[in-house]
Amino acid sequence: MEVFVQQLINGITLGSIYGLIAIGYTMVFGIIGMVNFAHGDVFMVSAFIALVALLILTTWIGIGSIVLALLIVLIVSMTFTALVNWTIERVAYRPLRGSFRLAPLISAIGMSIFLSNFVQVAQGPRNKSIPPLFGEVITVMSGNGYDVTLSYNQIAIWIVTAVLLGAFWFLVSKTALGRAQRACEQDQKMAALVGIDVDRTISITFVIAAALAAVAGTMYLVYYGVVSFADGFTPGVKAFTAAVLGGIGSLPGAVIGGLLIGLVETMWSAYFSIDYKDVAAFSILVITMIFLPQGILGRPEVEKV
Amino acid sequence: MADEAPASASRVDLVRALRATALTALLAFGLFLPLIAFRTVQDIRGELILETRWPLLFTLVGIVAAVRFVHELVIAPWRARRALRPAREPGAAARAVEKISPWARPFLLGFVIVYPVLALALAGPQGAAKWIDNFGIQILIYVMLAWGLNIVVGLAGLLDLGYVAFYAVGAYAYALLAKTFGLSFWILLPLAGCLAAFWGILLGFPVLRLRGDYLAIVTMAFGEIMRLVLINWVSLTNGYAGISGIPRPTFFGLPFTAADDGFAATLGVEFSPIHRLIFLYYLILGLALFTAAITVRLRRLPVGRAWEALREDEIACRALGINTTNTKLTAFAMGAMFAGFAGSFFATRQGFISPESFTFMESAVIVAMVVLGGMGSQIGVAIAAVIMIGGTEIMRELDVLKAVFGADFDPTQYRMLLFGFAMVLIMIWKPRGLIATREPSVFLEERKAVSRALVREGHG
């Protein structure tokens, strides 16, 4: 029981990170119908930007309050990552819009290779580790000589995720921008006819996706305390799995999918074999794709001639 | 008045170009600021500290700005002028290409056959090893893989991002069977191909209902699962450590050693390690040409025509009564079989295999070759493989760059960086690949290539 509760806590934390990345996949897929392969690497880049910002704040400026530092790091990382993703869309994807099906996918794979190698060259191939920001933990319950703990890191991740999801939900469902996005998702040509700037809406979608990935990247850095240039791929694929599981194109689906993947991964590690936890996540991807291609909350795809 | 107009127009152009350049410089500054200007390094105590690299940042921003400025002032107006000109008949260059193209194939074939001899003659036995091994064999392995994948992606239009899994099946099948049972390469080669084809069918079955991007992702997941199993099933595969001491190839029973029963002693020539390389070169050349020949023949068979029909329009295929399940499965199995052949060759050439050789990146590189070369075009795919692998291999050799950038400059670091960048650039430049025209396998009266403008894929 105690192990279960502990893994539940860990799983929700991990799932929040996956969910934030998954939203990026699902939004981009919804609006331009491409799998943004480079999104996992954008997430990794954001973790590196957060690392640099954190080091500037702690070692150069010597900021005292960790919460304040984290807030600044978050904003810096979101800003710069958004800039990176905006540029990627502009340079690598926009010229290929309306081109044949595989072109943007190949371009995205190229971008993914470029980003991870750029970080490797610019920052070196080693793992970068930071000392834990919050040392303390809260003991939630204990029994059988096992303490179930909840760290401040995890609380911070939960709160930030919840707040951002709220803000994001408001943005998509209540504002003019969100309406424009949903219109572009349904029919780009028609949206353009009624006066929506489609290019701008797509750009903003990439910016939002990157900002959410940056939150996930910062959280990843704070939670694990280590990041390397190769860290984009596996979380990226798992987040994509989450997006597919929840129903690609559906925003609440992405979050639910993320939480499920996080839970499956931690539970699998606890009860089965930690070596095969990635296999479990990938298998879910395969099984979902085969038996439930529309996902939990997605709409079934209608085939048209 | 008439004289003033162009002058003011060019001034406006200059102002606009300068404004664009300034914006680009600002953007580049923002992009490079976090990760170029600052570098995280570990100090003596193992803690991360920051170093700054302002000169590098400003150099890079300067380069980007200069490129943009030249583009705005020279290239963009030139392209605009060219777009205004009426479309001409195919020019002299196009006609010349048409004239030499019947000769290109025999010429290229002749070149790859005499290549080791040329390398020996030009570089000597010492220098030739590098050219035959790093360039010849390495490139031919990828050409073979790309041709094999071309069946799945190029002909059948099924985007397979997990192709390397079958390559791994072939390699591990050869390594394990050769080490455990001591079977020879020539027995294991077809066996490895069969095993890989079997896996192709096994993995192909569940994914048949999927299409496009979904298929790509599922096959990628399969590829990763395969790699993770290879890593974690230590009792069989020895995990990360890999399998070493895989039997090296023999010349139909004669080992390439200095021993008395070796290849050199039997033929009465002086022993040289280059013999094995030359043998391996012709082996993989034969395998690659075998792949190409089979593909060319298959295109003319009903199954090949069904593959290409499937790529163009799946719904129409079904309406015509083509069994799409069988068609897709045969494509998967054929592609996987050639990957299995290539895998067993890879294992015997390296003598050592580990899961590190079968990462997703390999799959992505092979897919990139097929798409960049022009899906379905044998020559285009081969050219893409030569450019991509040859290009990155040449990066290793460029000692000239050391003179420019200083002695501690390591060009190999930038290999994959440029590789990714080139992929994006080529896609933007030619989204349909280098050779996008389609050669029909059946025609009325006159053989005519189908121009890229008429090619349209369905959602295969």
Q: Are residues B62 and B109 in the same domain?
A: no
Q: Are residues B360 and B311 in the same domain?
A: yes
Q: Are residues B67 and B109 in the same domain?
A: no
Q: Is B299 inside a domain boundary? A: yes
Residues 222 to 241 of A: which have CB under 8 A from any B CB?
Answer: 233, 237, 240-241
- For β-strands A146-151 and A137-143, DSSP reports them as antiparallel
d(CA A111, CA A116): 9
Q: Is B460 inside a domain boundary? A: no
What is the extent of the structural domain holding B231? 105-397+430-454
Least Cα distance to B355 among B243, B230, B244 occurs for B230
Q: Are residues B64 and B147 in the same domain?
A: no
Contact B224 A282 (CB under 8 A): yes
Amino acid at B1: M
Q: Is B235 inside a domain boundary? A: yes
**Under 8 Å between Cβ of A91 and A203:** no
Q: pLDDT by residue for chain B (460 residues), tens digit each? A: 444 555 566 677 788 888 889 999 999 999 888 888 888 888 777 778 888 888 888 989 999 999 998 888 888 888 888 877 766 555 666 666 667 777 777 888 888 888 888 888 887 777 777 788 888 899 999 999 999 999 998 888 888 888 999 999 999 999 999 988 888 888 899 999 999 999 999 888 877 777 677 788 888 888 888 999 999 888 888 888 888 888 888 777 777 777 777 777 777 777 777 888 888 899 999 999 999 999 989 988 999 999 988 888 888 888 999 988 889 999 999 999 999 999 999 999 988 999 988 988 889 889 888 888 888 788 889 988 988 888 878 877 766 666 666 666 676 778 788 888 888 888 888 887 777 666 666 777 766 666 655 555 544 3
Contact A80 B34 (CB under 8 A): yes
Find the helix or strand (DSSP H, E) in which B11 lies.
helix B4-32
Q: Is B280 inside a domain boundary? A: yes
Q: Report the number of distinct structural domains present in chain B.
A: 2
Q: Are residues B227 and B359 in the same domain?
A: yes
Please name every residue paired with A137 in a beta bridge, in sequence order, or none if there are none: A151
Q: Are residues B199 and B244 in the same domain?
A: yes
Contact A56 B38 (CB under 8 A): yes
Residue A244 has pLDDT above 90, yes or no: no
Q: Is A103 on the interface with B (CB under 8 A)?
A: yes
Give pLDDT, residue B460.
39
Please name every residue paired with B42 in a beta bridge, in sequence order, or none if there are none: B48
Q: Are residues B145 and B241 in the same domain?
A: yes
3-state secondary structure of A225: coil
Q: Is A127 on the interface with B (CB under 8 A)?
A: no
Length reported for chain B: 460
d(CA B378, CA B104): 13
How many Cβ atoms are within 10 Å of B264's Cβ, its own excluded?
20
Contact B427 A114 (CB under 8 A): no
d(CA B427, CA B434): 9
Burial string for B184-199 (b: 16+ CB within 10 Å, else e) reads ebeebbebbbbbbbbb
Q: Are residues B121 and B174 in the same domain?
A: yes
Q: Is B91 inside a domain boundary? A: no
Q: Are residues B242 and B303 in the same domain?
A: yes
**Under 8 Å between Cβ of B80 and B354:** no
Q: Is B427 on the interface with A (CB under 8 A)?
A: yes
Least Cα distance to B218 among A35, A114, A108, A208 occurs for A35
Contact B50 A60 (CB under 8 A): yes
Contact B218 A286 (CB under 8 A): yes
Interface ipTM: 0.85
Please name every residue paired with B250 in a beta bridge, in sequence order, or none if there are none: B255
Contact B39 A56 (CB under 8 A): no
Query: What residues of chain B lie within 8 A of the CB of A114, using their CB?
Result: 417, 420-421, 423-424
CA B234 to chain centre: 30
**By CA distance, what is A82's nearest residue in B?**
B31
- The helix-helix angle for A277-291 and A233-246 (nearest 10°) equals 30
Q: pTM of the full predicted structure?
A: 0.87
Residues 34 to 63 of A: which have CB under 8 A from any B CB?
Answer: 34-35, 45, 48-49, 51-53, 55-56, 59-60
pLDDT, tens digit (0-9, with 9 covering 90-100), for A25-81 = 888 888 888 888 899 999 999 999 999 999 888 888 877 778 888 889 999 999 999
3-state secondary structure of B270: coil
Length reported for chain A: 305
Three-state SS annotation for B161-198:
CCCHHHHHHHHHHHHHHHHHHCCCHHHHHHHHHHHHHH
Residue A206 banded pLDDT, cuts 50, 70, 90: very high
Q: Is B359 inside a domain boundary? A: yes
Residue A213 has pLDDT above 90, yes or no: yes
Q: Are residues B47 and B131 in the same domain?
A: no
Q: Are residues B76 and B119 in the same domain?
A: no
d(CA B318, CA B46): 63
How many Cβ atoms are within 10 Å of B19's Cβ, its own excluded?
11
Q: In terms of pLDDT, which residue wins out, A192 or B85?
A: A192
Please name every residue paired with B41 in a beta bridge, in sequence order, or none if there are none: B49
User: What CA–CA distances, in Å, run from B297 to A301, B77, B290, B291, B305?
Assistant: 37, 47, 11, 10, 11
